[in-house]
Structure 1
Amino acid sequence: MNEYDFTLKFHLHNSQIDPNDYIEQLHESGCDDALIGIGKKGYIALNFMREASSAYEAISSAISDVKNVFPQASLIEATPDFVGLTDAAKILGCTRQNIRNLIVKGEPKSPLPVYEGTPSIWHLAEILLWLKEDKMYSIDDSLLEVAKINMDFNIARGWHKINPDLQESIMTLVA
């Protein structure tokens, strides 16, 4: 069993729901390994340190545990996934300038951003994998596994919004 560190952010759809009223239920439902953030009514964030045989098992079971208490909850984001240069540097324990030199000024093999702007945004998994395989950096395997699974969840979250009649055509165009 490995321990996985990740955060799940949910929209509860009913802004009248006060997550404070459900903290005990979340604990009983299996979220006793999470720090719970309830900053705004109708939203909740849970930072998990969950033991499981895989990152997928850890993250999917955590989502199920939350949905047992809030069946209508929608996953907003699974993190870590989307990162800017500063976020990536913090996660990797180096300077922003170092990450900028590696990615932005790097070779053509460097990962492409999900959003190119100010700031640009990347999938953490793509940065970690590139650093591990092309740059021979030592990357924590559980962090890479969590980043990959979170990227999959976040992509799937957006994918289901695409008109089913266009999905195949869009997939062909962006491949």
Structure 2
Amino acid sequence: MEYVFTLKYQLATEDQDTDSLVERLGDGGCDDALIGIGQPGRLALEFVREAASAQEAVNSALRDVQIASPGARLIEVTPDLVGLTDVAEIMGVSRQNMRKLMLAHPTSFPVPVHEGSSSIWHLAEVMCWMQSRGTYTLAQNVLDVACIAMQVNISKEYQRVSEKYQTPLIFA
């Protein structure tokens, strides 16, 4: 099956020669990715990867980038953190429809990761909620990638915070 996802990185000092980096990425198995180097010191790779599972697709891409650019730091795997407009676009409904769903189901609609003038959710959680309603058609490969992206991002952040603050995380 084909899986579409993006890996975003902060580049190491030794990877500032972008021509060399792009060559290493292509040679290292990232020839199925569209490479973006817009912001200095950043790298985005949009993959369209064939694999037996979303987990295999994402993990193999992460390994390929790690081999080509060992000093690069993963910023984010997408699709994961999204606003209502993003969810609406992915689901093929209007933003107004998504807002109505959120307001009509305040106790069951997924809790946002950040709530404010622009709230964000984990795409996987909203898609699973919509799937449980039984009235929306989901692309299973998109849901699978969203679940893996969320897991990788949460794991990465947990590790980063644990290492940086050297204290056990306490959840109330």
Instruction: Give the TM-score, by structure 2 length.
Output: 0.92
Give the 5 Å matches for 1:95-134. Answer: 95-134=94-133
Give the 5 Å matches for 1:51-130. Answer: 51-130=50-129
Once the two structures are overlaid, the 10-residue window that deviates more, 149-158 or 136-145, is: 136-145
| Aligned residue number for residue 150 of structure 1 | 149
Secondary structure of 1:104's counterpart equals helix
| Aligned residue number for residue 168 of structure 2 | 166
Does the Cα contact within 8 Å between 2:80 and 2:122 map onto a contact in 1? Answer: yes
Once the two structures are overlaid, the 10-residue window that deviates more, 20-29 or 111-120, is: 20-29
What whole-Å deviation, never above 9, does each CA across 1:89-139 have from its counterpart, x for those lacking one? 111121110111112332411111000111000000000000001343211
Does the Cα contact within 8 Å between 1:33 and 1:50 map onto a contact in 2? Answer: yes
Instruction: For residue 15 of structure 1, report the CA deviation from its aligned partner.
Output: 7.9
RMSD across aligned C-alpha pairs, in angstroms?
1.6
The 2-side partners of 1:121 and 1:127 are apart by 10
Give the ranges of 4+ consecutive aligned residues of structure 1 lying more than 2 Å apart after TM superposition: 18-21, 104-107, 162-165
Once the two structures are overlaid, the 10-residue window that deviates more, 130-139 or 33-42, is: 130-139
Does the Cα contact within 8 Å between 2:32 and 2:49 map onto a contact in 1? Answer: yes
| Aligned residue number for residue 140 of structure 2 | 141
**Residue type of the partner of 2:145?**
V
Secondary structure of 1:109's counterpart equals coil
The 1-side partners of 2:104 and 2:10 are apart by 38
Unpaired runs of 5+ residues, structure 2, are none
User: What count of residue pairs does the alignment treat as equivalent?
Assistant: 169
Instruction: For residue 29 of structure 1, report the CA deviation from its aligned partner.
Output: 0.3
The 1-side partners of 2:65 and 2:15 are apart by 18
Does the Cα contact within 8 Å between 1:19 and 1:42 map onto a contact in 2? Answer: no
Of all paired residues, the percent bearing the same amino acid is 46
| Aligned residue number for residue 26 of structure 2 | 27
Instruction: For residue 16 of structure 1, report the CA deviation from its aligned partner.
Output: 6.6
Once the two structures are overlaid, the 10-residue window that deviates more, 81-90 or 130-139, is: 130-139
**Residue type of the partner of 1:140?**
A
The 2-side partners of 1:16 and 1:153 are apart by 23
Secondary structure of 2:104's counterpart equals coil
Does the Cα contact within 8 Å between 1:81 and 1:151 map onto a contact in 2? Answer: yes
